[in-house]
Structure 1
């Protein structure tokens, strides 16, 4: 196993691990967003609550939840390692750096965007995962009702929308970068991957952001 540890600690290994965990989290976002989008059926939360109950009681899903948390922690840890590694290579800042000449600002700000996302994630987990998994809150009312209650607070709505914007920019760089890191980089299909990534980076965060907005303005009930 020493070879595996050595490989994962190499610069290439860190980027590969970042890509694999990132793609895993992207697949989770798609599933999570699809389930949450059931609120837009505007059926009083019936379909959403049924989906949430299935996700919360199915043993396979609950096991994958552990895998998800492990992947998330690995992604955060590896991202921090890469950020520190890049910083150590340039301990003294250049007098003037024209970063925009070679990359987008969000590509150079993945550390900041990742930190904002982590703070948003902690808040999100407190509001819903902790409520549904580690408390007896569901005995009093449904998860849909909890969403209605949480998103009546305008401050929470603003924080969620900002978190979704950060997610969008994070995905805008991370989606195509992940495929590049695993070797899917070719003039023939790279433009397609970038196009799909751009669409994904807009649609998924926009759908997530629309949820608190819709609740707050009573567009769904």
Structure 2
């Protein structure tokens, strides 16, 4: 309990937890994107990948761990946001600069974070718990998740909304990735410029990568 109390009351500790969980989530985003690129390989390749993941009993442990990481990150973000707002209770008539080096991405982190939460909920509803089709793969009947994805992105509106949310994630990650290193104490002036560059590059890769998959699925569905 004393350790939990420390992390709940110490601002530096909360930022460190946010940094570690944020980096873990960034790793998941990349691995998830790479797996989704199998959609471009073909239905069998993607369905085999999806079946391999979901048929492994450890998937429940992995999903529970991911949920804990996400909720911890969200909780710490909300707590720090509320504490920062409480420390500045007066709303100025003219908005003052948020500090040296403040950017659009850094100043909108709470808002992009909430949008990402909404996107994740909708993503689970539309795909994990979406339309269920079955197909035969190597003599086994498995879920045809490929068809579910192609069917969803057949709508231009769904593709457009997905791309917008990918931009939101890119904005969030462009600041969150490098600030996570800063939060855990890796803030050397010699390396931080390179980390900030990699953060922006990483955000672009995620945004373009996920958006490309959605657009490809839309084109494929129209063939």
TM-score, reference length from structure 2 = 0.89
- Corresponding residue number in structure 1 for 2:5: 5
Q: Is the 8 A contact 2:154 2:222 kept in 1?
A: no
- Corresponding residue number in structure 1 for 2:176: 174
Structure 1 gaps, min length 5: none
- Corresponding residue number in structure 2 for 1:72: 70
Structure 2 gaps, min length 5: 136-142
Q: 1:139 aligns with which of 131, 134, 138?
A: 134
In the alignment, the residues of structure 2 paired with residue 138 and residue 184 of structure 1 have an alpha-carbon distance, to the nearest angstrom, of 47
Which stretch of structure 1 is more off in the superposition, 184-193 or 168-177?
Answer: 184-193
Which stretch of structure 1 is more off in the superposition, 173-182 or 210-219?
Answer: 210-219
Assess, with a 3 A threshold, how the Cα gap between structure 1 residues 63 and 114 changes in structure 2: closer, same or farther: same
Which runs of structure 2 are paired with 1:84-95 in the superposition (5 Å)? 84-95=82-93
Measure how far apart 1:100 and its partner are: 7.7
Which stretch of structure 1 is more off in the superposition, 157-166 or 139-148?
Answer: 139-148
Q: 1:54 aligns with which of 52, 55, 78?
A: 52
In the alignment, the residues of structure 2 paired with residue 151 and residue 197 of structure 1 have an alpha-carbon distance, to the nearest angstrom, of 28
In the alignment, the residues of structure 2 paired with residue 215 and residue 6 of structure 1 have an alpha-carbon distance, to the nearest angstrom, of 47
Q: Deviations over 1:172-212 (max 9, x none)?
A: 00000001100111022212222221111100121111122
Tell me the secondary structure at the aligned position of residue 58 of structure 2: helix
Between Structure 1 and Structure 2, the one with more helix by share is: 1
Which stretch of structure 1 is more off in the superposition, 96-105 or 175-184?
Answer: 96-105
Q: Is the 8 A contact 1:14 1:78 kept in 2?
A: yes
In the alignment, the residues of structure 2 paired with residue 19 and residue 100 of structure 1 have an alpha-carbon distance, to the nearest angstrom, of 20
Tell me the secondary structure at the aligned position of residue 93 of structure 1: coil
Which runs of structure 2 are paired with 1:147-162 in the superposition (5 Å)? 147-162=149-164
Assess, with a 3 A threshold, how the Cα gap between structure 1 residues 195 and 53 changes in structure 2: closer, same or farther: same
- Corresponding residue number in structure 1 for 2:22: 22
In the alignment, the residues of structure 1 paired with residue 80 and residue 55 of structure 2 have an alpha-carbon distance, to the nearest angstrom, of 37
Measure how far apart 1:50 and its partner are: 1.0
In the alignment, the residues of structure 2 paired with residue 89 and residue 52 of structure 1 have an alpha-carbon distance, to the nearest angstrom, of 47
Assess, with a 3 A threshold, how the Cα gap between structure 1 residues 78 and 7 changes in structure 2: closer, same or farther: closer
- Corresponding residue number in structure 2 for 1:128: 127
Measure how far apart 1:216 and its partner are: 1.6
Measure how far apart 1:123 and its partner are: 0.8
Assess, with a 3 A threshold, how the Cα gap between structure 1 residues 7 and 73 changes in structure 2: closer, same or farther: closer
Aligned residue pairs, count? 215
Which runs of structure 2 are paired with 1:179-198 in the superposition (5 Å)? 179-198=181-200
TM-score, reference length from structure 1 = 0.90
Measure how far apart 1:220 and its partner are: 8.7
In the alignment, the residues of structure 2 paired with residue 15 and residue 82 of structure 1 have an alpha-carbon distance, to the nearest angstrom, of 8
